[in-house]
Structure 1
C-alpha cells in the first residue's frame, strides 16, 4: 500500500455502514414496488410517477448531506470537532425550513404535476393519491439527510446505519400490512413511507441534541452552506430534468412501459447508491486529508477509491446479468410489464462498471468541495446526452430503448469529465474550509 493511501480496512469501515444507509431507502422502495406491483399495472404506474416526484425532492437537496459532509470533514480533519458538529446543527435548521416550504408547495402543486407527467387519466389519479400522503415525509427526509451529512464528516459511521434501518425496517413490515391487511391499497404504501421518515428523523434529532453544542441558528454558516449548495442544487436539477423527463416519456409510451421503467429505474437507483458507499468513504477521507493540509494523501486516496469503484461495478455487472431471467418476476407478474423490461435491462447491466468509476470520483470531488465542476459536468451531460435522446424517443417511438440509450450517453460524458478532472489534481485545495 502506498504511504499516500489509507488502509483498506479504514475505507471499508466507513463504506460498509454507508452502504447500509444508502441502500436502506431504495431497498425499502424495492419492497414497496414489489408489494404494490402485485396489485396490478395501474397502482404500479401510480407509484412510479409519485415516487419519481418525491425522490426528486430529496435529490434536489443533496447538499444537505453531501455538502455538509464536505464542510464537516474538513473541520474534523483540522481538529475542530465542535465546529464540525455545528455544521450539522445549521444544516438541520435549513432542512426544517426548506422541508416546510416543500410540504406546502407540494400539496398545492401535486395535482398539476401528476397530470403533467402522466398526461391525465387513471394513472394521474393513482399517482396523486400516493403523493399527497407521502409528501408529509419531505421535511423528515431532509432532516435525515442533514444528520447523515454531519455524522459522515466526523467519521461516525454506525449510528446513521442504525437510525435508518430502524425506520425503514419497521416500515417494510408495515407496508404489506397496510396495503393488503388493512385494505388501504396504494395509499397504505404512502403511509408506511411516512412512518419510516418519522422514526429515522427523530433519532437523528436526538443524536444532534446529545452532542452538547449550541443549537442556535447561525445565519453566516447557513449562508456558506447555501453557497456550496447552490452548485449542488443546479447539479441536481440536471438529474431531475433527466429522470422526470424519462418517466414522462415512459408514461406516454404505455402503462406497461412505465411499470417496467419503474422496476429497472429503482434497481438502477439501488445499485447507484451501493456503488456510492465507497464514494461516501472518499468524501470523509478526502475532506479530512485536505482539512489537515495533506493534499498528497488526498490524491492517493482518490486513486485508491477509483480502483475500488471499478472493481465493485464490474462485480455488479456480472451479478445482475446472471439474474436477468429471474429477478424481474419478483416485482411483477404482469406479462406486459415483463415484456418491456428487456428494453431497459441490458443497458442497466452494462453501465455498472462505468457507474462504479463515475460515482467514486463524484465522491472524491464532493469531499474536496469541487461542486462547481460537478455542476458543469452534470449539466453538460444532461444537455448534450440524456435529454435530447429522451425527447427524440418520444417523437420517433423508440420507447424504453431510446430512454436508456440516453442514460448511457449521459454516463459516458460524465465519465470523461470526472476522469480528466481527477487526473489534473486541481481539486486538491487544502485548508479547514474551502
Structure 2
C-alpha cells in the first residue's frame, strides 16, 4: 500500500511526540531539585536561603556549560543506532559517561580552593557567604554524578528512549525532597543537610544510568572499561557545543547585568519576563531533543529523504508551538504581573516586555528546532561559529539600548536581534546539504 503524504506526516508526528513529551517532563523535573531545596532551606532563614541562591547560580552555570555531555552523546549514539551498529552505539555512550566522570573529578580538584572566590564573584554579603560556601563545598562531591546523569541521559536519548530519563528525573526529585526534609528539618543539619540530600539523590540517579549502560553493554557485547581514543573522540565532538553553550550563557549574563544597571524596577520586571521565557523554552527544547535523536538516527542510516522530510515537519512543529505560546502569553498578559508584584512601575514594564516575548515565540520555535536538528547531525563547529556571530550582534545592540535609555523594550529588542540572527544562520544551513553527513561517524 502506498504511503500518502498525510499518513507520512502523522507517522512523523507520532515519532516526534513519542520522544518530545517525556523529554519535556524530564526538563521540567530538573529545576525542581533547587526549587525543593529553596522551599526547605527557606525555613532556616534569609541568610541560608540567600546562600543557596548564590550556590544554585554557580551550579546552574556549571550544568548549563556541561550540557554538551548530553547533546554530543545523543548525536553520536543515535548515528550508530541508525547505522545498525548497536555495539558501537553503546560503546560511544559509555565513553561519554567516562568523560563525564573525568571532568567531574577535575572540577572537584580545581573547584575546591576556588570556592571563596566564586562566592565573592557573585557578590554575596558577609552574612550569606558562609552558607553559600558550605553548600558549594558539599555539592562539589555530587558534580561527577551530576555530569554522569547528563551523559547517561544523552545515551538513552540516542537510543531513542526519553521515558527512562523522565522516570529517573522523577525518582531523583522525590528522593531529593525526602532526604532534604529528613536532613534539614528532622536531623537539623542546616544548609549542609540540603546539599548532602541533593548529592545523594544525584548519586542515586547516576547509579541508575551506570546500571542501564552496563546492562546494555553486556547485551550487545560492548566494553565498559575506559578507552583513551573514545574519550578523545567524545571530547572533540563536544568542543563545538561547549563554545556554542558558552556564547549563549554570555547573552543571558549580559542581559541580566544590563537590566540590573537600568534600575530596581527594570531588573525585577526583566527577571519575571525571563522566567516566562525560560518556561516556554523548556517545551521548545523538548522538540529540539527529539530532533537530535531522530536526525542522528536517520543520518546514521544514510536516509537523506527521511532526514529532510522530518526536518520540515519539526520546523512546522516549532512554528506551531511558537504561535500557540505567543498567543498564550498575550492571553495571560493582563493579569500575570499581579501574581508577582504590586508595584505599578514593575507591572507596566512587565506588560510591555511580555508583548515582545509573545512576538518572539514563533521565531524562537524555529531556532530551537533547527538547533536541535544540527546538533543531531553533529554540526557543532557551525553552531559554535554562528552562535558567536549572533552574540556579537547582540552585544552592541544591548549596550546601545542601555546608553540610549531605551529601557527593557530596547533590551528585549536586542534579544530579538540575537534570535533573528540565529534563525537566519541556522535556516541557511538547514536549506543546504553540507550538514547532512551520512554514516555511523560524522
Q: Which residue of 1 aligns with 2:233?
A: 224
Q: Per the alignment, do residues 210 and 291 of structure 1 end up closer, same or farther by CA in structure 2, a change over 3 Å counting?
A: same
**Larger deviation, residues 405-414 vs 59-68:** 405-414
Return the offset for 1:427: 1.1
Instruction: Work out which of the residue numbers 3, 26, 30 in structure 2 matches 1:25.
Output: 30
Which string of whole-angstrom CA distances, capped at 9 and with x for unpartnered residues, describes residues 94-121 of structure 1? 1011012223333332332333343866
Structure 1 residue 85 and structure 2 residue 85: aligned? Answer: no
Instruction: Work out which of the residue numbers 247, 270, 277 in structure 2 matches 1:268.
Output: 277
Correspondence 1:61-76 to 2 at 5 A: 61-76=66-81
CA contact (8 A) 1:117 1:247 kept: no
Return the offset for 1:29: 4.4
Gaps of at least 5 residues in structure 2 are none
How far apart are the structure 1 equivalents of 2:391 and 2:284?
21
Correspondence 1:351-366 to 2 at 5 A: 351-366=360-375
CA contact (8 A) 1:246 1:390 kept: yes
Q: Which residue of 2 aligns with 1:423?
A: 431
How far apart are the structure 2 equivalents of 1:50 and 1:347?
31
Q: Per the alignment, do residues 201 and 347 of structure 1 end up closer, same or farther by CA in structure 2, a change over 3 Å counting?
A: farther
Q: Per the alignment, do residues 119 and 190 of structure 1 end up closer, same or farther by CA in structure 2, a change over 3 Å counting?
A: closer
**Larger deviation, residues 186-195 vs 77-86:** 186-195
Gaps of at least 5 residues in structure 1 are none
Structure 1 residue 137 and structure 2 residue 146: aligned? Answer: no
Structure 1 residue 283 and structure 2 residue 288: aligned? Answer: no
Q: Which residue of 1 aligns with 2:378?
A: 369
Q: Which residue of 1 aligns with 2:416?
A: 408
Return the offset for 1:122: 6.0
Which string of whole-angstrom CA distances, capped at 9 and with x for unpartnered residues, describes residues 366-417 of structure 1? 11111111111111111111x3344556666766555434322211111111
How far apart are the structure 2 equivalents of 1:149 and 1:199?
17
How far apart are the structure 2 equivalents of 1:55 and 1:35?
19
**Larger deviation, residues 35-44 vs 370-379:** 35-44
Instruction: Work out which of the residue numbers 294, 309, 329 in structure 2 matches 1:320.
Output: 329
Which string of whole-angstrom CA distances, capped at 9 and with x for unpartnered residues, describes residues 288-315 of structure 1? 1111111121111100111111111222
Aligned residues: 432
Q: Which residue of 1 aligns with 2:213?
A: 208
Which string of whole-angstrom CA distances, capped at 9 and with x for unpartnered residues, describes residues 192-249 of structure 1? 5434422321211121122213211111122112121111111111022222333444
**Larger deviation, residues 131-140 vs 34-43:** 34-43
CA contact (8 A) 1:29 1:266 kept: no
CA contact (8 A) 2:100 2:148 kept: yes
Structure 1 residue 197 and structure 2 residue 205: aligned? Answer: no
How far apart are the structure 1 equivalents of 2:261 and 2:205?
36
Which string of whole-angstrom CA distances, capped at 9 and with x for unpartnered residues, describes residues 165-189 of structure 1? 1112333466677777777777666
How far apart are the structure 2 equivalents of 1:306 and 1:65?
22
Correspondence 1:162-177 to 2 at 5 A: 162-172=167-177
How far apart are the structure 2 equivalents of 1:151 and 1:270?
24
- TM-score for the superposition, normalised by structure 1: 0.85
CA contact (8 A) 1:67 1:366 kept: yes
CA contact (8 A) 2:322 2:364 kept: yes
CA contact (8 A) 2:54 2:124 kept: no
How far apart are the structure 1 equivalents of 2:46 and 2:315?
40
Q: Which residue of 1 aligns with 2:59?
A: 54
Q: Which residue of 2 aligns with 1:99?
A: 104
CA contact (8 A) 2:12 2:313 kept: no
Return the offset for 1:155: 1.0
Secondary structure at the residue paired with 2:30? helix
How far apart are the structure 2 equivalents of 1:252 and 1:115?
19
